[in-house]
Amino acid sequence: MKTLQDINFNGKKALIRVDFNVPLDENFNVTDTTRIEAAKPTIDKILADGGSVILMSHLGRPKGVEEKYSLKHIVQTTSKILGKDVKFATDSIGSEAQKAAADLKPGEILLLENLRFHKEEEGGDVEFSKNLAALGDVYVNDAFGTAHRAHASTTIIAQFFPEEKCFGTLLAKEIDSLNKVLNNSEKPVTAVLGGSKVSSKITVIENILDKIDHMIVGGGMTFTFIKAQGGQIGQSICEDDKLELALEILEKAKQKNVQIHLPVDVIAADAFDNTANTQVVDVTKIPDGWQGLDAGPKSLELFDKVIGESKTILWNGPLGVFEMENFANGTIALGNSIAEATKKGAFSLVGGGDSVAAVKQFGLEPKMSYVSTGGGAMLEMLEGKTLPGIAAILES
């Protein structure tokens, strides 16, 4: 795996695919700078070598050129985080971008306009990729969040740099962390899978069953498993067409000696509302008209014990509707259990939109070994897929 450390960037222009798809408020202020901060180590190393940096990214899902999706809105914040003035080109290809790139001196940074202002970016167009490639000497992919897309700037462009291409610090760290869980893990390995649907996690479950010792199931997925085994789930969310599948997963896990831990009790509510009436009930005996919205106290004790004995932990998906304060306790308690295990030497990897949002919201992010920056990309890697953006760097 070729990384930044394998290249001396002295006198070279590094063309870096970053993921600066950051949230903006109505005044175009960046409201979460995590992704920009995550790219800083890569940029710092190149500048320290005596190189210059050309940053390319997308922002949002524009239909053609749309002012509100212009990357010019993030120039000030990016300059502040990187501690250097960032120059801006009002297009990603063409004469202005070419001149700005050609004039770039060692130690300078240039940000190109939103790649998705050109439909050729998402189309994986070869000519567009070639025009981008002409701007730099070395191609660096540091955008894990888009590594599962075969777009021009994430995949196709790499063919124009047969030797001069590598992974950035962030992307290398993502690959290492996932490898640590999937291929080089210290046992026992526990996967915590939450979220609402079994169907969205089925390929992940099938791929990781050979690699784990325990699987904790939480969130709405729980009730498909409970109903499949004859439990009463009231009004709880359930995929009725996946009941057979749930039983098959339980059987496969048994054959592979993987212990599946389902909640034994839940916080049930009489409406999907933070102010609803609640009661703690047995997960198999949820009354009619009530729905399970969080894991109950006995479940959390059980999960805490499993997590406490684990040496490698993968967390993907919350245990309850954590966006509502009254149903956030299960997710917080699980996060605290994982934080405690991490403190004692376990390796913990958190990934997937909702679990990442939860660890950030509850201040747990610094207590985890690694928090992934790419939800969709991480899920595809957990499913055993080779991501095109990663494959493109590995191919010589």
Residue 17 labelled as part of a binding site: no
Residue 149 labelled as part of a binding site: yes
- pLDDT-based confidence at residue 5 (cuts at 50, 70, 90): very high
Copy the structure tokens of residue 27: 């005044």
Q: What is the pLDDT of residues 67-84, one digit of tens each?
A: 999 999 999 999 999 999
Q: What is the pLDDT of residues 263-289, one digit of tens each?
A: 999 999 999 999 999 999 999 999 999
> Average of pLDDT values for 45-62?
98
Strand partners, 109: 53, 86
CA distance 118 to 128: 9
Residue 116 labelled as part of a binding site: yes
Q: What is the DSSP string of 75-140?
A: HHHHHHHHTSPEEEESSSSSHHHHHHHHTPPTT-EEEE--GGGSHHHHHT-HHHHHHHHTT-SEEE
pTM above 0.75, yes or no: yes
Which CATH class, in words, describes the domain spanning 175-382?
A: alpha beta
Residue 114 near residue 152 (C-beta atoms within 8 A): no
Residue 96 labelled as part of a binding site: no
Residue 223 labelled as part of a binding site: no
The tally of CA atoms less than 13 A away on the side-chain side of residue 268 is: 24
> Average of pLDDT values for 374-384?
83
Whose CA is closest to 161, among 288, 17, 36?
Answer: 17
Tell me, yes or no, if the two domains 4-167 and 175-382 fold the same way: yes
Domain covering 4-167, topology: Rossmann fold (3.40.50)
Q: Catalytic residue positions?
A: 35, 197, 353, 376
Q: Lowest-pLDDT range, 40-44, 314-318, 334-338?
A: 314-318
Would you state the torsion angle of the CA atoms of residues 366, 367, 372, 375, taken in this order, to the nearest 10 degrees?
-110
Residue 385 has what pLDDT?
87
- pLDDT-based confidence at residue 195 (cuts at 50, 70, 90): confident
Residue 189 near residue 211 (C-beta atoms within 8 A): yes
Any idea which residue has 């394998």 for tokens?
Answer: 6
Extents of the domains making up the chain: 4-167, 175-382
Q: What is the pLDDT of residues 234-268, one digit of tens each?
A: 999 999 999 999 999 999 999 999 999 999 999 99
